[in-house]
Chains A and B, each alone.
Chain A
Amino acid sequence: MQHAKHLFTLLATVAAVGLSGCGEEKKPEAAKPQAEAPAARPTIEIKIGHVAPLTGSIAHLGKDNENGARLAIDQANEAEIEIGGKLAHFELLAEDDQADPKVGTTVAQKLVDAKVAGVDGHLNSGVTIPASAIYHQAGIPMITGSATNPQLTEQGFDNVFRVVGRDDQQGPAIANYLASAEKPKVVAVIDDSTAYGEGLANEVAKTLKAAGVKVLAREKGTDKQTDWKAVLTKIKGEKPDAVFYGGMDATGGPLIKQGRELGIKAVFSFGDGACTDKMHELAGDAAEGMLCSQAGIPPQAASKAFLEAYKAKFKVDPILYAPFTYDAANLMIQAMREADSAEPAKYLPFLHKISYKGATGTIEFDAKGDRKDAEITIFVMKNGKVEPAAVVKAGRTVPFDQFLKSMGGA
């Protein structure tokens, strides 16, 4: 690798010297010194789009995603991949969708017009879903590294893939973990009456019942609720061993705080909407010990090779989904190599049947374009921070330190 890099620099220097030396000469001759360079081969320019919010409140996450994609592209260029007998040069077109569905579709159209071979993105589910329709019309493959809403891959688009888990895989994962780790007899399930919260709560209740746990009548709040005492008091009378809440941290924080104020000793568990350090801010020490789940794996669990390369290139650690966007870009490149073509129509079938060992483990896609056996990580609130406790993959729960070891060898 290092050798190849030197060669590349040398090549560039030779070309530059040659060009500057004959700057005054006419065009046909200007091309001549390039042909004399030792490793010059016919090249093919391949554009890959990356879209994420680069401005606004989650700009840092967008930049993180972009870094992941950029690392993959740069590594591919250094590796001097040949596609269709030509030296492939990849170019990353990084765009900003401002986490806004309207901007997202505009940017998507812009990338389509720029004739990108594939798109790595977007970040938000709400933006990815409308944008995916545009890529679908243009027949351009897109792989998201962070959009977890199930609807994305339920549209029947054959060009849409995702390398993270789905929201509806989370419910069973957290419920199974809860049932096996805490062994509750009675569980109260609450939701915030939103599509997300109710859907998640339904999955949890279903899984718990299947595991033989008694689930109390569903309690409901709203996504703007601040007062949970009436609901919690009612629940307290039924003496549950655990409580699950499908909702966001803004309502989940007050929920757990008020639960502890009422003297409820049950284990509180949440989905990814409330799997943030903000829970500690909102509820203080009451949030200590709560369980929650997130799709995917935390960045520190990605392969060592990726983590070291990322750190060396960007001088920071990946924040959240960078390993997934890195894998997404690599998947496209890998499929292009297997198809020996960067034509979307030609390499798309290879994406469907790909089996690739990436920074986040082995990746294969099911018929919908979802990742097979996607990981869900279970977190526990410790000293005000949500820390990974276990990883659920294909129905099996692996303690986090053990999972880290298994990834270290990757």
Chain B
Amino acid sequence: MDIFIQQLINGLTLGAVYAVVALGYTMVYGIIQLINFAHGEVVMIGAMVAFTVINALAGSGLPPLVVVLIGAGCAIPVCVLVGYTMERLAYRPLRRAPRLAPLITAIGVSIILQHLAMLVWSRNVLAFPQIIDIKLYTIAGAVITNVQVVIILTCIVIMAALAALVYRTRLGTAMRATAQNPQVAGLMGIDIDRVIAATFAIGAGLAAVAGVMVGTYYGIAQYTMGSILGLKAFTAAVLGGIGNVPGAMLGGVLMGVVEALGAGYIGSYTDLCKISGISDWLTQRCANDGHFVLFGSNYQDVFAFVVLILVLVFRPSGLLGERVGDRA
């Protein structure tokens, strides 16, 4: 049981981060029906900027928390700038183009950002300075670290703040209006360009926070880290119903938990030696080794995508997604 709780804690931490990144995908998609594949790279840039700042300040004697906050404080504006520039240069000129054009552009932007980061920060795996004094807390036999607690709490606060922004403020109302019908929203006096730019900027800011969290949690950053993280967060957004803000949160958390439990238990359940009686060959093989695992925990990444396929087959619009007619 304590192992199960431990996997749940691992999954929740991971899921909280996915959720924050997924929000960026879902908000942009909700407004302009664009899957911004470069969003994962923005997370990476956030982690990289934070790395540079934290590395520079590590020896300054400031308290670790302050150093990390300054790191995040530098990463957010940089990422917001990247997000805004991306929208302004790569997507706005293509707003009236067929939907495939901005999608391909997004992939291009992702590659450009990745290689820019490689030029700036090198190909090497960068080690975050270990400044945070990690404390372990035990709950029902499972261990949770202070960093994990902070990550989960931060994500909850961010999600609550974003929900408040979308559902309680003028900007949020404008965003929702634009999402429903950009033309009509424009006729109502909403500056659509500004709303879209703001959406990109907010998404990028969230990505920056996620980048800092991932960086400090794992202690490493690399120029390729954004792609798989982005892909999983995108999957989480689709799982929850892309374009739906609470859906992205639910999808992210679910994704993290499924991944952790999957990786933790798949090996034991696909150990063919448990059914070694069915064939002589297998019995012999198991007598030698004792384990014959069909799918090991290296299938962790595959899990996420199996879940995605299942959801898309049985509920194409995602868990919380509304069944909408074709917008075009």
Instruction: Let me know if B163 is at the binding interface, CB within 8 A.
Output: no
In the bound complex, residues from chain B placing their C-beta under 8 Å from that of A220 are 296-298
Q: For the complex, give the distance between the alpha carbons of A237 and B202 in Å.
A: 41
In the bound complex, residues from chain A placing their C-beta under 8 Å from that of B7 are 230, 233-234
Is B125 a contact partner of A250 (Cβ separation < 8 A)? Answer: yes
Instruction: Let me know if B231 is at the binding interface, CB within 8 A.
Output: no
Task: Give min CB distance, A230 to chain B, whole Å.
Answer: 4
Task: Give min CB distance, A195 to chain B, whole Å.
Answer: 14
Which of the segments A8-16, A282-290, A347-355 contacts the partner chain? A282-290
The winner among B222, B259, B268, B298 for most chain A CB atoms within 10 A is: B298
Is A226 a contact partner of B218 (Cβ separation < 8 A)? Answer: yes
Is A262 a contact partner of B143 (Cβ separation < 8 A)? Answer: yes
Q: 1/0 contact trace for B113-128 toward A, CB 8 Å?
A: 0000000000001010
Instruction: Let me know if B225 is at the binding interface, CB within 8 A.
Output: yes
Q: For the complex, give the distance between the alpha carbons of A220 and B127 in Å.
A: 23
Q: 1/0 contact trace for B126-147 toward A, CB 8 Å?
A: 0100100010101000010100
In the bound complex, residues from chain B placing their C-beta under 8 Å from that of A257 are 218-219
Among residues of B, the one whose C-beta sits closest to the C-beta of A249 is B125
**Size bin of chain B's contact surface:** 35 or more
Instruction: Let me know if B150 is at the binding interface, CB within 8 A.
Output: no
Task: Give min CB distance, A324 to chain B, whole Å.
Answer: 26
Instruction: Let me know if A136 is at the binding interface, CB within 8 A.
Output: no
Among residues of B, the one whose C-beta sits closest to the C-beta of A281 is B127
Further pairs besides A218-B296, A225-B298, A226-B214: 4, Cβ < 8 Å:
A219-B267, A225-B300, A230-B11, A234-B265
Q: 1/0 contact trace for A215-251 toward B, CB 8 Å?
A: 0111111101111011101101100000000000110
Among residues of B, the one whose C-beta sits closest to the C-beta of A278 is B127
In the bound complex, residues from chain A placing their C-beta under 8 Å from that of B125 are 249-250, 282
In the bound complex, residues from chain B placing their C-beta under 8 Å from that of A258 are 218
Is A236 a contact partner of B6 (Cβ separation < 8 A)? Answer: yes
Is B219 a contact partner of A284 (Cβ separation < 8 A)? Answer: yes
Among residues of B, the one whose C-beta sits closest to the C-beta of A216 is B291
Q: Tell which of B3, B220, B224 touches A233, judged by Cβ atoms closer than 8 Å.
A: B3
Question: In chain B between 191 and 246, which residues have their CB closer than 8 angstroms to a CB of chain A?
Answer: 214, 218-220, 222, 224-225, 228
Is B290 a contact partner of A217 (Cβ separation < 8 A)? Answer: yes
In the bound complex, residues from chain A placing their C-beta under 8 Å from that of B6 are 233, 236, 262
In the bound complex, residues from chain B placing their C-beta under 8 Å from that of A227 are 10, 14, 218, 300
Q: For the complex, give the distance between the alpha carbons of A249 and B220 in Å.
A: 11
Q: For the complex, give the distance between the alpha carbons of A217 and B270 in Å.
A: 12
Instruction: Let me know if B182 is at the binding interface, CB within 8 A.
Output: no
In the bound complex, residues from chain A placing their C-beta under 8 Å from that of B265 are 234
Instruction: Let me know if B322 is at the binding interface, CB within 8 A.
Output: no
Task: Give min CB distance, B273 to chain A, whole Å.
Answer: 9
Q: A234-B3, A254-B219 are in contact. Are A263 and B143 (CB under 8 A)?
A: yes
Among residues of B, the one whose C-beta sits closest to the C-beta of A254 is B218
Is A222 a contact partner of B136 (Cβ separation < 8 A)? Answer: no
Secondary structure class of chain A's binding surface, majority of residues: helix
In the bound complex, residues from chain B placing their C-beta under 8 Å from that of A284 are 130, 219
Is A250 a contact partner of B220 (Cβ separation < 8 A)? Answer: yes
Is B267 a contact partner of A217 (Cβ separation < 8 A)? Answer: yes
Instruction: Let me know if B179 is at the binding interface, CB within 8 A.
Output: no
Is B3 a contact partner of A253 (Cβ separation < 8 A)? Answer: no
In the bound complex, residues from chain A placing their C-beta under 8 Å from that of B214 are 226
In the bound complex, residues from chain A placing their C-beta under 8 Å from that of B136 are 261, 263
Instruction: Let me know if A34 is at the binding interface, CB within 8 A.
Output: no
Is A217 a contact partner of B219 (Cβ separation < 8 A)? Answer: no
**Size bin of chain A's contact surface:** 20 to 34
Instruction: Let me know if B293 is at the binding interface, CB within 8 A.
Output: yes
Is B10 a contact partner of A230 (Cβ separation < 8 A)? Answer: yes
In the bound complex, residues from chain A placing their C-beta under 8 Å from that of B219 are 253-254, 257, 282-284
> Can you list 23 A-B contacts (CB < 8 A)?
A193-B298, A217-B271, A218-B291, A218-B293, A218-B296, A219-B297, A220-B297, A224-B224, A226-B214, A226-B218, A227-B14, A234-B7, A236-B3, A236-B6, A237-B3, A250-B220, A253-B219, A254-B219, A278-B127, A282-B220, A283-B130, A283-B219, A284-B130
Is B130 a contact partner of A234 (Cβ separation < 8 A)? Answer: no
In the bound complex, residues from chain B placing their C-beta under 8 Å from that of A233 are 3, 6-7, 10, 260, 264
Question: In chain A between 149 and 176, which residues have their CB closer than 8 angstroms to a CB of chain B?
Answer: none
The winner among A217, A230, A234 for most chain B CB atoms within 10 A is: A230
Task: Give min CB distance, B140 to chain A, whole Å.
Answer: 13
Q: 1/0 contact trace for A63-105 toward B, CB 8 Å?
A: 0000000000000000000000000000000000000000000
Q: Tell which of B2, B138, B220, B263 touches A230, judged by Cβ atoms closer than 8 Å.
A: B263
- By Cβ-Cβ distance, the 8 closest A-B pairs, closest first, are A284-B130, A230-B263, A217-B291, A220-B298, A281-B127, A220-B296, A229-B10, A250-B125
Task: Give min CB distance, A152 to chain B, whole Å.
Answer: 25
In the bound complex, residues from chain A placing their C-beta under 8 Å from that of B11 are 230
Task: Give min CB distance, B126 to chain A, whole Å.
Answer: 9
Q: For the complex, give the distance between the alpha carbons of A216 and B136 in Å.
A: 26
Task: Give min CB distance, A381 to chain B, whole Å.
Answer: 14
Task: Give min CB distance, B141 to chain A, whole Å.
Answer: 10
Is B263 a contact partner of A231 (Cβ separation < 8 A)? Answer: yes
In the bound complex, residues from chain B placing their C-beta under 8 Å from that of A237 are 2-3
Q: Tell which of A229, A250, A285 touches B260, judged by Cβ atoms closer than 8 Å.
A: A229
In the bound complex, residues from chain A placing their C-beta under 8 Å from that of B300 are 221, 225, 227, 230
In the bound complex, residues from chain A placing their C-beta under 8 Å from that of B298 are 193, 220-222, 225
Is A285 a contact partner of B130 (Cβ separation < 8 A)? Answer: yes
Task: Give min CB distance, B232 to chain A, whole Å.
Answer: 11
In the bound complex, residues from chain A placing their C-beta under 8 Å from that of B127 are 253, 278, 281-282
Among residues of B, the one whose C-beta sits closest to the C-beta of A250 is B125
Task: Give min CB distance, A269 to chain B, whole Å.
Answer: 19
Among residues of A, the one whose C-beta sits closest to the C-beta of B132 is A284
Q: For the complex, give the distance between the alpha carbons of A283 and B14 in Å.
A: 19
Question: In chain A between 167 and 215, which residues have their CB closer than 8 angstroms to a CB of chain B?
Answer: 193
Q: For the complex, give the distance between the alpha carbons of A229 and B3 in Å.
A: 11
Q: For the complex, give the distance between the alpha carbons of A226 and B10 in Å.
A: 13
Q: For the complex, give the distance between the alpha carbons of A217 and B219 in Å.
A: 28
Task: Give min CB distance, A58 to chain B, whole Å.
Answer: 12
